[in-house]
Amino acid sequence: MNADRSWPGISHYQVEAGPDWTGSGPLSEDAECDVAIIGGGLAGISTALSLLERGVDSVRVLETDQPGAGASGRNGGFVFAGYSLANDALFTQLGREQATLMHGWTRDAVDLIRDRINRYAIDCQVNDAGVLLADWFGDDQRLRAFQQRMADQLDFELELIDREAMPSIIDSPRYGAGLMEPGSFHFHPLRHVRGLAAHLHRAGVGVHGLSPVKAISRTRNGWQLTAGESVLRAREVVLTTGGYDKTLWPPLQRALQPIATYVAVTEPLQGLTERLVPGGVAVYDTRFAFDYFRPLPDGRLLWGGRISIADRSPDAIRRLLRRDLAKVFDGLGNIEFEQAWGGWMSYARHEMPLLGRTAEGLWHGLAFGGHGMATTTLAGELLAEAICGQPARLARFARWQPLWAGGALGRYAVQTRYWWLQLKDAFRSQTGTGR
């Protein structure tokens, strides 16, 4: 897999899952289909699958690299509800009824991911211990207030783990209480997306790796995509290129802000990981720029964090994440990370996904940010519904338009905002105030 060309460093997932998935092979001749999907991340693969499950099988996916080479196969592996936009903000923007409805769709998507894993027998190391939000600031009252708001505003019931019970789940004095998200889980994201792609391939849907689309143009009856020497004609096109392309349809993609986050994985720690995270859960915390970590099945610890506009080297990522890890697990500042890597998420200014139709027959599913597993799966459902003539759910996303992200200046503005929010987090963790 040569995502390494755009990001140096091989991921643990690539090493663990073995050679690239070669499925349908590159697009090597001119072809036609009903729906052409550009981008073989979870958004593109889910859209193809949701179409197939509705009986639309004249579908092809074109991917620059291999399915899952982008964020979808390189991420933390947390499968949980919600959008990148904070739940409180979703409620403020939409009011209780609509916010509950749309947040509920992401909970349904978590269930759908699990259901498909079972239905298509995908071996992707599902860990049902769930996802825990751990309180970095030791502010029980605030955490309980958040739990109550989620129940009141979104019908979203989180289970409180009080601070006395926390050591049985995470062995670190760093945290106060925590909130468990029922139904959430963690898994191997690359095995997952490859498993879905393999199912599509077996069902006759072309999933073409090493087929970068260089141009899209209109034809009399639809669209034409140019990939290498070949041309793919389709009635409908779906653009799901994540944070990895800004050139194919600039009026839309100029709304994207590619933001990096980093992950590293230790060697097997001979029982230590089980002692550090006896609950087996995937953990993130209540800061703006939170750490995220989870145990892997063979006793390794996966550690992630940071948000940045910089594509750092694996060694730089190792150094940064080692420092972060030592703040949670004292004495582990010299831990060896076997692999360290990063990936691009794509964000819109409003932090909600961009879902819709830009022109007759040209659809898009972009900007899922750091909450992409459930929301890309949901996007696949909504896009497939709309393509099959039922656009009502997709239409709810029209209020979040592709606003220009500000180009290079926008990137620096974003980085400055992140530093500011990180500073506020640091101030608050020292003083218990600041927000």
Ligand X SMILES: Cc1cc2nc3c(=O)[nH]c(=O)nc-3n(C[C@H](O)[C@H](O)[C@H](O)COP(=O)(O)OP(=O)(O)OC[C@H]3O[C@@H](n4cnc5c(N)ncnc54)[C@H](O)[C@@H]3O)c2cc1C
User: Per rule CB under 6 A, is residue 23 in the interface with ligand X?
Assistant: no
**CB closer to ligand X, 75 vs 339:** 75
CA distance 131 to 76: 11
- Do 313 and 303 contact (CB within 8 A), yes or no? no
Nearer to ligand X, 142 or 415 (CB): 415
Scanning 74-82, 144-152, 167-175, 381-389 for contacts with ligand X by CB under 6 A, the matching segment is: 74-82
For residue 383, the Cα-to-chain-centroid distance in whole angstroms is 18
Q: Is 70 in the site for ligand X (CB under 6 A)?
A: yes
Q: Closest distance between ligand X and the C-beta of residue 2, in Å?
A: 10
Is the CB of 194 or the CB of 428 nearer to ligand X?
194
Q: Is 222 in the site for ligand X (CB under 6 A)?
A: no
In this structure, what DSSP letter does residue 127 have?
A: B
Q: Using alpha carbons, select from 167, 78, 92, 89 the residue that is nearest to residue 129.
A: 78
Contact between 87 and ligand X by CB under 6 A: the answer reads no
CB closer to ligand X out of 42 and 134: 42
The reply on whether position 376 binds ligand X by CB under 6 A is yes
Could you say whether residue 370 binds ligand X (CB under 6 A)?
yes
The token pair that represents 360 in the structure block: 């007759």
Q: Nearest CA to 337 among 301, 289, 311, 290?
A: 301
Taking the CA atoms of residue 282, residue 333, residue 344 and residue 375 in that order, the dihedral angle to the nearest 10 degrees is: 10
CA distance 190 to 165: 33
Q: How many CB atoms lie under 10 A from the CB of residue 233?
A: 16
Give me the least distance between CB of 252 and ligand X, in Å please.
13
Nearest to ligand X of 52, 428 (CB atom): 52
Segment interacting with ligand X, rule: CB under 6 A, options 68-76, 138-146, 148-156, 330-338: 68-76
φ/ψ of 134, rounded to 5, equals -100, 140
306 binds ligand X (CB under 6 A): no
Phi, psi of 326 (to 5 degrees): -65, -20
CB atoms within 10 A of CB 409: 9
Position among 133, 263, 328, 383 found at the interface with ligand X (CB under 6 A):
263
Is 291 one of the binding residues for ligand X (CB under 6 A)?
no
- Nearer to ligand X by C-beta: 49 or 248? 248
Give the residue, chosen from 14, 72, 147, 257, that forms a contact with ligand X under the rule CB under 6 A.
Answer: 72
The radius of gyration of the chain's CA atoms, rounded to the nearest angstrom, is 21
d(CA 255, CA 5): 24
Q: What's the number of CA atoms in the CB half-sphere (13 Å) around residue 86?
A: 8
Smaller CB separation from ligand X, 139 or 240: 240
Q: Which is nearer to ligand X, 287 or 428 (CB)?
A: 287
Scan for tokens 């498909």, then name that residue: 116
In the list 136, 185, 368, 400, the residue contacting ligand X (rule: CB under 6 A) is 368
Cα 89 to Cα 83, 93, 153: the distances in Å are 10, 6, 11
With binding defined as CB under 6 A, does residue 206 bind ligand X?
Answer: no
- 75 forms part of the interface with ligand X (CB under 6 A): yes
Contact region with ligand X (CB under 6 A), list: 16-24, 199-207, 355-363, 369-377: 369-377
Rule CB under 6 A: which of 35-64 touch ligand X?
Answer: 38-44, 62-64
DSSP letter assigned to residue 332: -
- Determine the interface stretch with ligand X among 47-55, 115-123, 305-313, 338-346 (rule: CB under 6 A): 338-346
Chosen residue from 343, 361, 380, 402 binding ligand X by CB under 6 A? 343
Q: Choose which of 94, 109, 112, 248 interacts with ligand X (CB under 6 A).
A: 248
Q: At what angle do helices 42-53 and 372-387 cross, to 10 degrees?
A: 40
Q: How far is the CB of 321 from ligand X (least distance, A)?
A: 11
| Contact between 13 and ligand X per CB under 6 A | no
> Hey, CA dihedral for 146, 148, 153, 154, is it positive or negative?
positive
Q: Is 285 in the site for ligand X (CB under 6 A)?
A: no
Tokens of 367: 């900007």
Binder among 33, 371, 377, 380 for ligand X (CB under 6 A): 371
Location of structure tokens 């590159």: 26
Residues 126, 116: Cα–Cα separation, whole Å? 12
CB of 259 to ligand X, least distance (A): 8
- Site of interaction with ligand X (CB under 6 A): 38-44, 62-65, 69-72, 74-78, 212-213, 240-245, 248, 261, 263, 304, 342-345, 368-373, 376
